[in-house]
Amino acid sequence: MFLPTSSAEIARRGWDRCDVIIVTPDAYVDHPSFAMAILGRFLEADGYRVGILAQPRWRDPESFLELGVPRLAFAVSGGNMDSLVLNYTANKKPRREDLFSENGNPFFSKPGDGKKYRIRPDRTVTVYCSQIRSVCREVPLIIGGIEASLRRIAHYDYWSDSVRRSLLFDAKAHLLVYGPGEYALRDAVRALEAGDAPEECSLSGTAVVRKEADVPDDPIILPSYSDVSSDTAAFARAFCTFYRNNDRRLLTQQQNNRFLVQFPRRRLTTAELDAVYDLPFMRLPHPRYAHEIPAYTMIRDSITAHRGCFGGCAFCAIGAHQGAEIVSRSPASVLREAAAIAAMKDFSGTISDVGGPTANMYASRCRIGGCDHPDCLRRGDACENLVPGTAEYGALLGAVSEVAGVRHVLVSSGVRFDPVLLDDVLLLRLLRHHIPGQMKVAPESGSDFVLAAMNKPEKSVFYAFKERFDRLAHREGIRKYLIPYIIVGHPGEGEKEAKETVRFIRDCKLTGNQFQIFTPSPLTCATACWYLGYDPCTGTPLPVEKRIPVLEERKKQLIRR
């Protein structure tokens, strides 16, 4: 049974009202790749009555009361993707598609005059919270999802070209959950059930707003919003302090006359992650949708095997959102999900992915249990304490392939080509069994200077990988190709570096056109570099090209190559 999405569905369950209403701009798909489904099912398993308010007509405040007033809280999310990244291209042109809506249509039609407006408003969390408060002030607002997670401290915002406050202040919410958030949200709901005031909660994986007298002792203190918004040096200090903390210690930041207080990240165990993915998902869109939801079509038969990424790529938000530590599911849990997929009546026989943010980080761990400043890959020269999980990942792929009804298991997630994470045994398995014809890899640039700014391996590491790839493919008589992801206009890239990348792509005889212009998304090191013109932690000057026509021309040069 799906979680209720209307007052009629609530009545059919015999409920008088919901305990928690999850508000999301995404279509409701009851699948473990969709946040509202995971959060809703997890709270349901803890005994709470949960409703899903999907894609409310946000220009009408009353639409937020479609499921009534919840007993404990509204849990407001910006969706599976940041609203501004999804609504606009890197050159700030509106997109004409929303993969998380029916038929990819990003618009509502306004009743009466037929005029259109976006299903997903810009700055979704702020808009939703404002509308909810206008019709219901008595219920706490908990915000979360990637939009809130990456705006939890004062941050540079590309879309307004300004330093903005924590989203907690702009949304006027009571509590922010960062990271994937199932356990933190459950803990927050339990605290509300017990009668605790949201701002008094001290929960791992959350942030709250407090007065100075209520700030805990011995926090890490970031420069204030007033300082970071007016002084780039203060911004650099704040970002670097936040970045190096890695969510390990409690931190605070003054914003106007109050203080943001962020509590350390909640780090899950394998058993806790298994409990999330073992929940009874329908693995289908809610029947209210008559047409396909493109994001679901792409991932319907995929399996998330782990969370987290220790790659440390400067442009990537995964580390800030999911954390740098890998938390892997047990093989038994993954196999249970594979069996559930195979039992679906329209299953094609192909598992489309068994992976995560980086597929071959499954089961990787630190020999000494982690350190204060993790840099596990060290730009291609791995830390001696990194224990790779290549054997475990290869064994997992083999085990999923043996599940009854499964004919093929593919790897669609990104694969790191660092030798410590992709030895010849695993590479050969991927070539033989799990790559349909093209293998996605991410050299990202052909310039060592830019790669250093990205915290990516030197291009010599990619050359060595490609030699291994070609040698094994030739030996096995396998015709497979590498499809590279390249970022155009990353901080550090000038004309000289752009030309180096063109030569690199040409010399490696790489195919495909997976080239994208750098988008400065909140809370990444590369965005701080883009704003400052230098690395906030090292002070290394970095050229930044902000003229869109120049970047478009560089992209065309890569395509022509």
Tell me the pLDDT tens digit for each residue of 100-145: 999 999 999 765 556 789 999 999 999 999 999 999 999 999 999 9
Detail the DSSP E strand segments found in 225-274. 251-255, 258-262
Q: For tokens 């015999």, what's the residue?
A: 14
Q: Are 18 and 50 in contact (CB under 8 A)?
A: yes
Name the nearest CA neighbour of 367 among 383, 381, 385.
Answer: 385
Q: Are 64 and 135 in contact (CB under 8 A)?
A: yes
Q: Which residues contact 436 (CB under 8 A, 6 or more apart)?
A: 410
Mean pLDDT value across residues 77-92: 94
- CA-to-CA distance for 311 and 378, rounded, in angstroms? 9
Helix axis angle, 495-507 to 548-560, nearest 10°: 20
HEC string of 418-441 equals CCCCCCHHHHHHHHHHHCCCEEEE
User: What 3-state DSSP class applies to 452?
Assistant: helix
Name the nearest CA neighbour of 296 among 29, 559, 78.
Answer: 29
Name the nearest CA neighbour of 79 among 58, 55, 106, 103.
Answer: 55
User: Are both 7-207 and 437-561 of the same fold?
Assistant: no
What pTM does this model have? 0.95
Q: Are 478 and 484 in contact (CB under 8 A)?
A: no
Report the topology of domain 437-561.
Transcription Regulator spoIIAA (3.30.750)
pLDDT digits over 500-509, tens only? 999 999 999 9
Helix axis angle, 331-342 to 270-277, nearest 10°: 10
Predicted confidence band at 348 (pLDDT cuts at 50, 70, 90)? Answer: very high
- CA-to-CA distance for 124 and 171, rounded, in angstroms? 10
Q: Mention the CATH class of domain 7-207.
A: alpha beta
Sequence spans of domains, the chain: 7-207, 437-561
Locate 327 and state its tokens: 């938390």
Q: Which residues contact 507 (CB under 8 A, 6 or more apart)?
A: none
Rg (CA), the chain: 23
Residue 436's pLDDT is what?
A: 85
Of 4-18, 143-157, 199-213, 379-393, the poorest mean pLDDT is in 379-393
Mean pLDDT of the chain: 95
Predicted confidence band at 217 (pLDDT cuts at 50, 70, 90)? Answer: confident
Name the nearest CA neighbour of 312 among 158, 517, 80, 524.
Answer: 524
Pairing of β 20-24 and β 73-77: parallel
